[in-house]
Amino acid sequence: MEFSAILNNAGFSNAELESGTLTVSSPINGQVIASLAVHSSDEAHGIIAKSKAAFSEWKLVPAPRRGELVRLLGEELRAEKENLGRLVTLECGKILQEGLGEVQEMIDICDLAVGISRQLFGLTIASERPGHSMRETWHPMGVCGIITAFNFPVAPWCWNAALALVCGDPVIWKPSEKTPLCALAVQKICDRALARFGDAPAGLIQVLIGEREAGEILTTSRNVAVVSATGSTRMGHAVGAALSARFGRCILELGGNNAMIVSPSADLEMALRAIVFSAVGTAGQRCTSLRRLIVHEDIYDALLQRLKKAYAGLPIGNPLEDGMLVGPLIDQEALANMTRALSAAKADGADVFGGEALPEAGYVHPAIAEMPAQTDIVREETFAPILYVLKYNDLDAAIALQNDVPQGLSSCIFSTDVREAEYFLSAGGSDCGIANVNIGPSGAEIGGAFGGEKDTGGGRESGSDAWRGYMRRQTNTINYSRELPLAQGIKFDI
């Protein structure tokens, strides 16, 4: 399918695609596919003011009614899955199956959020005072700013937006300047859901187009109560500092340096499939990509031989074509970072398999780097398909290796020994926010809370009780007696 057909099917007119100075290129072949208008500072503040006004109305709408809007959004996304999935592939370069899967994540979180809209529950708490009751209630927080990264240009917005909307919060989306078309296409889908809903306030769902300055306006504005930011640890430090300075709430989903431990009892065929998908999916540009493979010395040679054979046969090319498993890196900067990291690994004594740039600009063969130790470059997150491989002979040593990095997002072990598996999941095991057994570190489901510790930022999105991040907690004490006893037995007679 031609690029123009993908853009047309996503609802874009030629006028929209030629409206400004922000150049958008497809990593598939470097072709410029749009020149978009960006919002000025005054326009950005106007968007925030409009969102704040919407909050005054939306917070009073019953939560199940708010859930109806998200239900309609899920229906619209189902109808547009193919078109939006192709646009994701066109703009960020992941293979079409992954583009479609990302839209499916949006549909799934809409389904989950609709159910949550009827379960925004608090607690009933025993009071020490006779004739008193206590309870905990949750209320809408305010405007929610959402900053997303290029590698997942639509799903993380929906993880946040679906929950924020049912919790009573308007949303403002600042997408990556590398993938703004996806955000604008989703806004068109939202507009259709809003029209069907009928009585939502103006400004409930908005997109803010711009570069770093646009994100800074969101993070520094006191009219934005919550900012959820997905991106690099460096970006997260800036966002966190800005929110902290004004006591705003932040939800940070930052870098990952994810490991897999493969024990002697592992099913090697299953481990091999998980390794390849986790390490080369999205061309290694997932926050949950497998970056470190820690293999027991008894099975190291056998696994590495099979892994290199699998890597040698990887279909690499245009991600819109059937059968491709590896698409392009997002841009030349990403390729330069990969080249730099491999040079550093070789200087540390690595034996590197693959990693060569292909004749087509932006495409590269995924690399396997057998490391003598976990050096500084291994502890650094490089957003590219580099898999560092290390040996171990003791499970405690393997877990220590896994945990000895600044990031703490996702982790896994392949083992059929229940003791090893349970120990890995215990307090003595993985220090990550996600810990899996016999599946890779990527491909999280909507039902569980998503996020990690340390330099990953500590945020949680998606399932479980992540909805609480978009609401404020209130403790209520009710005196239904005719007396006024004080807590802690204090006497204060007048």
Closest CA to 186 of 286, 103, 71: 103
Q: CB–CB of 110/184 below 8 Å? A: no
**Close Cβ partners of 482 (under 8 Å, ≥ 6 residues apart):** 131
Q: Is 190 a catalytic residue?
A: no
Q: Is 394 exposed, middle or buried (0-12, 13-18, 19+ CB in 10 A)?
A: exposed
Q: Is 253 a catalytic residue?
A: yes
Query: Phi/psi of residue 396, each to 5°?
Result: -60, -40
Residue 403 CA, chain-centre distance (Å), reads 21
Q: Which amino acid is at 491?
A: K
- Catalytic residue among 287, 420, 432, 461, which? 287
Q: How far is CA 398 from CA 278, 306, 380, 442, in A?
A: 19, 21, 18, 20
**Close Cβ partners of 478 (under 8 Å, ≥ 6 residues apart):** 132, 133, 134, 135
- Catalytic residue among 80, 91, 105, 253, which? 253
Q: Which residues of 244-260 are buried (b: 16+ CB within 10 A; e: fewer)?
A: eeeebbbbbbbbbbbbb
- Contacts within 8 Å (CB) and 24+ apart, 33-37: 33/3, 33/7, 33/90, 33/91, 33/181, 34/7, 34/180, 34/181, 36/180, 36/181, 36/184, 36/209, 37/209
DSSP state of 375: -
Strands 461-462, 449-450: pairing is antiparallel
Closest CA to 293 of 229, 368, 366: 368
**What tokens were used for 418?**
């229940």
- Contacts within 8 Å (CB) and 24+ apart, 41-50: 41/213, 41/217, 44/208, 44/210, 44/214, 44/217, 44/218, 45/217, 45/221, 47/172, 47/203, 47/206, 47/208, 48/143, 48/172, 48/217, 48/218, 48/221, 48/223, 48/224, 49/223, 50/202, 50/203, 50/206
Total H helices, total E strands in the chain: 16, 21
* Residue 201 exposure: Cα atoms within 13 Å on the Cβ side: 21
Closest CA to 239 of 211, 210, 215: 215
Q: CB–CB of 157/460 below 8 Å? A: no
Point out the residues that are catalytic: 253, 287
